[in-house]
Structure 1
Amino acid sequence: MLGKDYILCAIASDFEKEWSISSRDKVHQTTAITYAFLRRPKAIIIYKPGATPQELLDSHLELRQKMIRNLNIELLPLTSLEDYFEGSRKYRIEQKQRLWRKSIIFGMVEMWLFSLKSPEQKYQWFGDYARLARKQ
């Protein structure tokens, strides 16, 4: 059981076809930077400030099941620590490539636009999933 002194709770799931979901209970100061420069069309990020770890897990599992059903995708098994680190390494390489391709001017405009969003909009990034799920 987590005590009240934990720093952050983050839960992540990876799926086939490069889909992923990350659920977090705290919004970081760099959220606008992440939104402008590092977001991916198939990476869903949900922030639930103030949620308990159990509430975060419950909502993560619920959305995960919806994604599996709506996108007809399978959850990727995490079979070893080496698999986890290899996936993290690949993600960081892709992240670096996205940063190099992104226009700094366009990114700054996106950061400014992000500041105009409502808290609900800032706390949810559904990427391509929002469009694809509506078609279902």
Structure 2
Amino acid sequence: MQRLGRSFVFCAISSGLEQEWLVSFKDNSPNPAIVYAFLHRPRGIIVVQQGVTPEELLRSHLKFRQKMMRDLNLQLLTDISIEAYFDKSQRIRTAHRKALWRKSVIIGLVEMWLFNFKSETQKSQWLGDYARLAARKG
């Protein structure tokens, strides 16, 4: 992706898995504190790897996705049509909108402030429920 009039290029790779899991690897995040406080989902994995090539991002994504599929006994979604993609995107946006309506702005702002005290690794990835579920199976 490249925004018109902007000099940066943004690369994001996502995979849809069974049971509403989504794995996204990105090479940039405009404001990770906002994403962390307001837009994270329990089954939406986000990993940001700045300064990597698209090829390195793809390799990392595929390796992590394979491990996650093995850990949670998941499969890739089989319908990869453009209609399925738009439908899933719309459902995610609707879920985000509903979560934002329920979210306290004060709590979100506190979470954004607390984000500053996280380690660099914690700032660059949101593993949602995956870490807990994988640890339980392991």
- When the two structures are superposed, what TM-score results if normalisation uses the length of structure 2? 0.90
CA distance in 1, matches of 2:54, 2:121: 19
CA gap of 1:78–1:9, structure 2 versus 1, over 3 A, is farther
The residue matched to 1:41 in structure 2 has which SS?
Answer: coil
Structure 1, gaps ≥5 residues long: none
Partner residue, 1:43: 44
The residue matched to 2:45 in structure 1 has which SS?
Answer: strand
Residue identity (%): 53
Partner residue, 2:129: 128
Partner residue, 2:12: 10
Partner residue, 1:80: 81
Residue by residue over 1:24-79, the C-alpha shift from the partner in whole angstroms, topping out at 9 and shown as x without a partner, is 01131x21111001101111100000011111000100010011100011111343
Matching residue's letter, 2:66: Q
* Selected match of 2:26 from 15, 24, 27: 24
Structure 2, gaps ≥5 residues long: 1-6
- When the two structures are superposed, what TM-score results if normalisation uses the length of structure 1? 0.91
Residue by residue over 1:75-114, the C-alpha shift from the partner in whole angstroms, topping out at 9 and shown as x without a partner, is 1134321111111111111110000011111111100000
Matching residue's letter, 1:13: S
Matching residue's letter, 1:16: E
CA distance in 1, matches of 2:78, 2:10: 24
The residue matched to 2:24 in structure 1 has which SS?
Answer: strand
Matching residue's letter, 2:82: L
How large is the Cα RMSD of the aligned pairs?
Answer: 1.3
- Would you say how many aligned residue pairs link Structure 1 and Structure 2? 131
Write out the 4+ residue segments of structure 1 that deviate beyond 3 Å after TM superposition: none
The residue matched to 1:17 in structure 2 has which SS?
Answer: coil
CA distance in 2, matches of 1:121, 1:52: 21
